């Protein structure tokens, strides 16, 4: 940025519709993708000597991930959730073998022929659990104990808000950080009427 110059980097596998997240040290972790990239993990560490480039990790993932979501966790690991026909989550770096935990919520939010549960929205809640929104529903996931801590009611009207009926979501600013209990609010908006993906063809 300072010198207003660019330098090409080498991507070794297909990153189309992959997902990623920044670690606290500034390293970008990118996971999954299409075809030869489905099981790959890639890291990019910033440098100031123009020598840094993507590092590719073969079989960095336990399941092929295409249209999944990544989120950094308090311990620095990343959780990778969902993807096309992947109703599960896993961690990077890998934590156990096989490192994959089923998440039936993702199958339950899968609209046949449309999916509408890809790139789920994921936010770390103030209680340490993960808020996960897919299609038109949400859960609070205790990823440490691999169980659903809370199931939220479906959005009124039932229209999908996740890819390919993409809306957007944001964790609103936290208020009163000195309180004994800090409430978090997630705003989900946009989306498309049911059946839009099929009607678009």
151 and 188, same domain (yes or no): yes
Position 97 pLDDT exceeds 80: no
Nearest to 53 by CA among 30, 78, 37: 30
The pLDDT value recorded for residue 168 is 97
**d(Cα 116, Cα 142) in Å, to the nearest integer?**
23
Residue 104: which H helix or E strand, with range?
helix 104-108
Position 116 pLDDT exceeds 80: yes
The pLDDT value recorded for residue 201 is 82
Q: Count up the domains in the chain and report the number.
A: 2
117 and 192, same domain (yes or no): yes
Instruction: Give CA angle at 106 (128, 66), nearest 5°.
Output: 95
Please give the model's pTM, rounded to 2 decimal places. 0.94
Torsion angle, CA of 14/44/129/105, rounded to 10 degrees? 0
Please give the average per-residue pLDDT across 81-99, as a whole number. 93
86 and 142, same domain (yes or no): no
149 and 108, same domain (yes or no): yes
74 and 146, same domain (yes or no): no
98 and 153, same domain (yes or no): no
Please give the average per-residue pLDDT across 1-7, as a whole number. 85
CB 45 within 8 A of CB 27: yes
118 and 54, same domain (yes or no): no
The pLDDT value recorded for residue 111 is 96
Q: Which neighbouring-strand residues pair with 148?
A: 141
CB 105 within 8 A of CB 140: no
The pLDDT value recorded for residue 135 is 98
Domain limits at 145? 104-201
Domain boundary among 78, 102, 126: 102
pLDDT in tens, 35-58: 999 999 999 999 988 899 999 999
pLDDT in tens, 27-37: 999 999 999 99
The pLDDT value recorded for residue 33 is 98
Torsion angle, CA of 187/15/114/140, rounded to 10 degrees? -40
**pLDDT grade, residue 85 (50/70/90)?**
very high
The pLDDT value recorded for residue 57 is 97
93 and 75, same domain (yes or no): yes
The helix/strand/coil state of 197 is: helix
**pLDDT grade, residue 14 (50/70/90)?**
very high
39 and 117, same domain (yes or no): no
The pLDDT value recorded for residue 50 is 87
**pLDDT grade, residue 98 (50/70/90)?**
confident
Domain boundary among 76, 102, 128: 102
Position 170 pLDDT exceeds 80: yes
Domain boundary among 38, 67, 102: 102
91 and 59, same domain (yes or no): yes
69 and 118, same domain (yes or no): no
46 and 11, same domain (yes or no): yes
The pLDDT value recorded for residue 177 is 84
Position 78 pLDDT exceeds 90: yes
């Amino acid at each position: 940025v300072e010198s207003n110059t660019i330098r090409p980097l080498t991507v070794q596998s297909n990153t189309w519709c992959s997902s990623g997240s920044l670690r606290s040290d500034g390293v970008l972790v990118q996971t999954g993708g299409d075809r030869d990239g489905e099981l790959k993990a890639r890291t990019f560490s910033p440098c100031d000597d123009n020598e840094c480039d993507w590092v590719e990790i073969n079989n960095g993932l336990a399941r092929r991930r295409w249209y999944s979501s990544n989120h950094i966790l308090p311990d620095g690991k990343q959780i990778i959730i969902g993807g096309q026909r992947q109703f599960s989550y896993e961690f990077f770096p890998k934590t156990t073998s096989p490192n994959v935990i089923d998440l039936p919520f993702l199958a339950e939010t899968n609209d046949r022929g449309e999916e509408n549960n890809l790139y789920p929205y994921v936010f770390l809640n103030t209680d340490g659990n993960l808020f996960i929104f897919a299609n038109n529903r949400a859960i609070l996931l205790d990823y440490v104990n691999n169980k659903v801590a809370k199931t939220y009611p479906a959005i009124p009207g039932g229209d999908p808000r996740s890819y390919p009926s993409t809306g957007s979501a944001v964790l609103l600013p936290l208020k009163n950080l000195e309180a004994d209990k800090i409430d978090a609010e997630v705003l989900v908006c946009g989306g498309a009427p049911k059946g839009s993906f099929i009607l678009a063809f």
